């Protein structure tokens, strides 16, 4: 992929949507996943304002992906939150998603039991996100 979109941007959201809908491995690994997700990017030295990213994930497909309005009344099944730099570190491969969770560099709200039963799906979602942002590596 030569044209890598900047994270976070509308172009990046389109890129991850397309990646999730065309990646055969993700389709297989996530075939039983049911749950939408909000990713809350908290401000830090590189990001001045909070951003919400929304992914509607359902049975190995992404039904929708966009930058969400901060006044949204959606009630997603999962919410991930962290300072922007922590997400960048996960997407760039500097820290593993599991290490980020265990060290509380990445917060997750929703059914932890469901997430733990579906760790391969979560890790493959991260892989797909890393691949559309591979220019950081």
Tens-level pLDDT at each residue, the chain (137 residues) = 445 567 889 999 999 999 999 999 999 999 999 999 999 999 999 899 999 999 999 999 999 999 999 999 999 999 999 999 999 999 989 999 889 988 999 999 999 899 889 999 999 999 999 999 864 43
A 10 A CB-CB count for 6 gives 11
Question: How many Cα atoms are found within 13 Å in the side-chain-facing hemisphere of 111?
Answer: 12
Q: What is the pLDDT of residue 84?
A: 95
Cα Rg, the chain, nearest whole Å: 14
Distance of CA 51 to the CA centre of its chain: 13
Is 34 exposed, middle or buried (CB count within 10 Å of its CB: 0-12, 13-18, 19+)?
exposed
């Amino acid at each position: 992929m030569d044209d890598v979109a900047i994270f976070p941007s509308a172009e990046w959201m389109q890129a991850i949507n397309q990646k999730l809908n065309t990646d055969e491995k993700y389709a297989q690994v996530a075939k039983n996943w049911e749950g939408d997700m909000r990713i809350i990017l908290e401000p830090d030295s590189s990001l001045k304002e909070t951003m919400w990213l929304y992914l509607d994930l359902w049975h190995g497909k992404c039904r929708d992906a966009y930058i969400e309005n901060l006044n949204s009344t959606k009630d997603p099944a999962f919410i991930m939150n962290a300072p922007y730099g922590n997400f960048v570190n996960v997407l760039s491969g500097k820290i593993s998603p599991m290490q980020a969770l265990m060290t509380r560099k990445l917060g997750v709200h929703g059914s932890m039991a469901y997430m733990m039963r579906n760790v391969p799906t979560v890790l493959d979602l991260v892989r797909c996100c890393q691949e559309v942002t591979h220019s950081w590596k």
